[in-house]
Chain A
Amino acid sequence: MKIEVKSFMSVITTGRVNQKTLTVPEGTTVCQIMETVGFSPDDEILILVNKGITNENRVLCDGDNLTFMPPVSAA
């Protein structure tokens, strides 16, 4: 199945949005995608699937849009 992944985490480090389409097996979780794109388990990340807030245990479906955002708080 295909998952659209868009990460704004990289905007902080590289200045660019990291956007790609991944082909993954049925039953793939958000956590597995996070490992694939290079996040560590300690990274704090806001996770959205199809606009909804979710967590790393979410099982993905074909065509899902997965977005990663940094939880920034400074002012």
Chain B
Amino acid sequence: MTQAIFFVLIIFPGTGGEICVSRAMKTIGEVTDFRPHAIARFIGRALAVPWMWIGVAMMAMGFFALLGMLSVANVSFVFPATALSYAVGALGGKIFLGEKVTPQRWIGVLIVCLGVALVFIGKR
């Protein structure tokens, strides 16, 4: 049961946090000037968007859940299982950010999921 709770906390707040950060960035608009002072201004604007802070807090929650999960489960199980976050991320992008996830992108995301799982299984 503890493992299931940690697992849900890794996948959903972790990925949800990244989606919130993405939403914050879309609110600000596309970066077209890459000079250091323009990037610094962009970061300043990003930090003023509440979605950014919600995202960072959720990502922190996901990170601490990962630490908790590693204390109760084997690394060889934890990391391959977290590969699922790529599929959840694509679904979240579609639902919460209105992205068009084409069948081709879905196939790519699922191949990446399997690849990440294999990398960690192969690590032992």
* A and B form one complex: no
Taking Cβ atoms with an 8 Å cutoff, the residues of B that contact A are none
Residues of A within 8 A of B (CB): none
